[in-house]
Amino acid sequence: MLQRLDQRPHHNQMAQPAPPQSAQNLRHRPSRPRSGLRLGLSGLSAHGFSLGLAISLALGLVCATTPASLAQPAPSAPGSTGSQTGSQADKAAASQPPAALSQVLAAADQAASQRNLELMLQSYSNNFRNSDGLNRRALGQSLTTFWQQYPQLSYQTEILRWEKTATGWMAETEARIQGSREVDNRRLALNSTLRSRQYIENNQIARQDILSEQSTVTTGDRPPTLQVNLPEQVSPGQSFAFDVIVLEPIEKDLLLGGIVDEPVSAQGYGSVSEASLEPLIDAKTGTGPGGLFKIGQAPAKGSDRWISAVVMRKDGITMVTQRLRVGDR
């Protein structure tokens, strides 16, 4: 676990966006005692608070650029006639993923769009593993739960790059996902971006590495707009800053917030998280940090982390989860 996720020192002042500071310039002091208010988050996302399983697997693996978009010719240069020389055509063709690679990803994508689990799992090797320790069976269980919780989903995915490997192909993709669900007469809106790397062997997805992810869930008439500052990757033992800044004018609005810090692991995917909330603004004076400003230190050894924050006021809640990669990958 993180050795330290402490409150940054700050002075009480009118809440406004503060410029980010480097972790090297921060001093540590113990957190202030948190209030007794705890927010149960099991109904607000697919993984308690963190959306790691639902997004990393249900969407990062199965979303692929469609064959039609992959087959589009490269755009002509300004002023050209639109025709290509042989070398230009060869270069454009070489930049496109091979048809066999596109078919593997498109088959998984189509099956997921149809919510056909049996068909979708045919695109995955029996020995499938991802960087968080999930196997093929866990993938199927997680997808079933996620599809039940988010009946409305849309996404756009782009193949960022690909390359031939000794045993097949590697494809790096970025998926942007939107979804919604109803919980206790509340509408929850999901927005997520995930970048991952898939390794294809024998026309099946054999392995996946999660490179980055950020997911936001909002509810209410006026959920806070948040700016999150967190490095994508740190070295083991390295200090880092985690800032969550409320961008709208706060005035004398009651504002509460809290942080959830969880290890990324196969065992932790099904857990339910709670956030201990503390006041971020004094409703009487209108003074306070106006956000969450924390410092942490990555473990000397260990897995990636899901660093999550929740900020709530009387007419809206915003929850954000971002992956912190620890070590090289």
- pLDDT attached to residue 285: 66
Domain limits for position 102: 54-70+96-213
* Total domains, the chain: 2
For 236-326, strand residue ranges (E) read 239-246, 255-263, 274-276, 278-281, 291-297, 305-313, 316-326
Question: Is the distance from CB of 1 to CB of 299 less than 8 angstroms?
Answer: yes
pLDDT per residue, tens digit, the chain (329 aa), is 444 566 665 543 433 433 333 333 333 333 333 333 444 444 343 333 334 434 444 444 444 333 333 333 333 344 444 445 555 544 444 478 888 888 888 888 788 778 889 998 999 999 999 988 889 998 888 888 888 888 888 767 788 999 999 999 999 999 888 889 998 889 999 999 999 999 999 999 999 999 999 999 999 999 999 999 999 999 999 999 999 999 988 777 788 999 988 888 665 555 556 778 888 876 666 667 778 999 998 988 878 898 999 999 989 999 999 999 998 76
The verdict on residue 90 lying in a domain is no
Same domain, 114 and 186: yes
* Domain at 285, CATH number: 2.60.40.730
With b for 16 or more beta-carbon neighbours within 10 A and e for fewer, the 278-306 pattern comes to bbbbeeeeeebbbbbbbbbbbbeebbbbb
Same domain, 199 and 61: yes
The verdict on residue 75 lying in a domain is no
For the chain, strand residue ranges (E) read 4-7, 38-40, 124-130, 152-164, 168-183, 186-201, 204-219, 226-229, 233-234, 239-246, 255-263, 274-276, 278-281, 291-297, 305-313, 316-326
The verdict on residue 89 lying in a domain is no
3-class SS at 144?
helix
Domain boundary among 213, 237, 252: 213
- pLDDT attached to residue 310: 94
Same domain, 63 and 199: yes
